[in-house]
Each structure stands twice: as structure tokens, then as C-alpha cells.
Amino acid sequence: MRKKAENTGLKIKKLLDVFYIKPIRHLLNRETYYYAATGGANTVLDILLYFIFYHFVFHQQIADFGFVAISPHIAAFIFVFPITFTTGFLLAKYVTFTNSPLHGRKQLIRYAISVGGSILLNYILLKILVEEYHIYPTPAKMITTVIVVIYSFLIQRFFTFKTGKKQLAKAAVSAEKPKGL
């Protein structure tokens, strides 16, 4: 399974490399470019699945599960989240942050923490921008998305996968030290 994921990641990288042309190379390093491409693709998948679940699975109606009834927009979010959480993690692990010195289990736990932080940051920023500063919801969501994407990239690079330059240098130095000293 892991080998298959690594091979798929390499194929995705080869495809993305076709579009990594001069103007983009001057603006973004390869890791940032991969993050933008895979994160953008996962976001599109999330929106598409949300639309499908909201309109065609829950038919814009309250989802009554017998023990709990959930509004259709929240039900769609709940059902789509595990799918895009999984695809987001796999794309980050096998395409974007492949130089991570951390083990997969640790990456997954940290990824869950970073996604939780993204959800919380989204909520707080929307509440502040819409309710305190009276910005219309759509522009507020656009502002929030920009901030959350930047947060997400930084937290994944320096915490979740630790591929920032300092982290990689530290991992290389500790790997060179003889054990037992």
C-alpha cells in the first residue's frame, strides 16, 4: 500500500512538473508549488463533494439519523470531511512534503492537529469579520481563506511534516551523531 502511494505521488509530481515553468519557478519553490497545486485540487474536491452531498445525498433536507437530526449543510460537511482529510494528508505526505524526517503516524497526528487549528481559525475569523466588523460573509470567507491557507502551509511545513530548512538541517545533524553519546 505504501509503495503504491509513493508511486502515485511520483506520478503526480511528474504531472505537476510539466506546469512548473519559468514564471512560476521564480515565484514559488517546488515544495510551495506542490502545496498550492495539491491543496488547490483538494479544495476543489472538497467543494465538489460538498455540493454533491448537500444537493443529491441530503437533498437540502434535515438529515434524520433516528438518534440525531442534522441540518443538510452540516451533514454534508460531516460526511465530506473524512474524505478530503484523507486525500489532503496523502497528497501532503506523498507529493508535497516528501522530505519529512518524521514517521507517518506522527505526521498523521500532527496533520489532524493542524486541520483542527484551521477549522478553529476559520470559525473565529468568520465570527470576527462578519459579526464584529460587519463584512459581508463572502468577502469575509475570502479573507479568511487566504489567512487559513497561509497558516496551513506554515504549520504543515514547520510542524506537521518539518520540512523547513532548519528542521531538515537539524534532522541531518542528529542522524550523523553516533548513538550512545
| Domain membership of residue 119 as a residue range | 101-181
Q: Mean of the pLDDT values across residues 89-112?
A: 96
> Do 67 and 12 have their domain in common?
yes
More confident residue, 77 or 12: 12
| 181 and 106 share one domain | yes
pLDDT given at position 1: 87
Q: Given 63, 81, 98, which residue is the final one in a domain? A: 98
Which of the listed residues 72, 98, 124 is the one where a domain comes to its end? 98
Rounded to an integer, what distance in angstroms lies between the CA atom of residue 72 and that of residue 53? 9
| Alpha-carbon distance values, 83 to 21, 48, 87 (Å) | 31, 12, 6
Q: What is the DSSP string of 65-117?
A: -SS-EE-HHHHHHHHHHHHHHHHHHHHIIIII-TT--S-HHHHHHHHHHHHHH
> pLDDT for 144-168, tens place per residue?
889 999 999 999 999 999 998 766 6
CA distances from 67 to 9, 64, 157 (A): 41, 8, 41
Mean pLDDT value of segment 89-110: 96
What is this structure's pTM? 0.83
Mean pLDDT to the nearest integer, 26-41: 95
Residue (of 157, 149, 153, 174) closest to 98 by Cα position: 157
Q: Are residues 9 and 88 in the same domain?
A: yes
Last residue of a domain, one of 51, 71, 98: 98
Tally of domains in the chain: 2
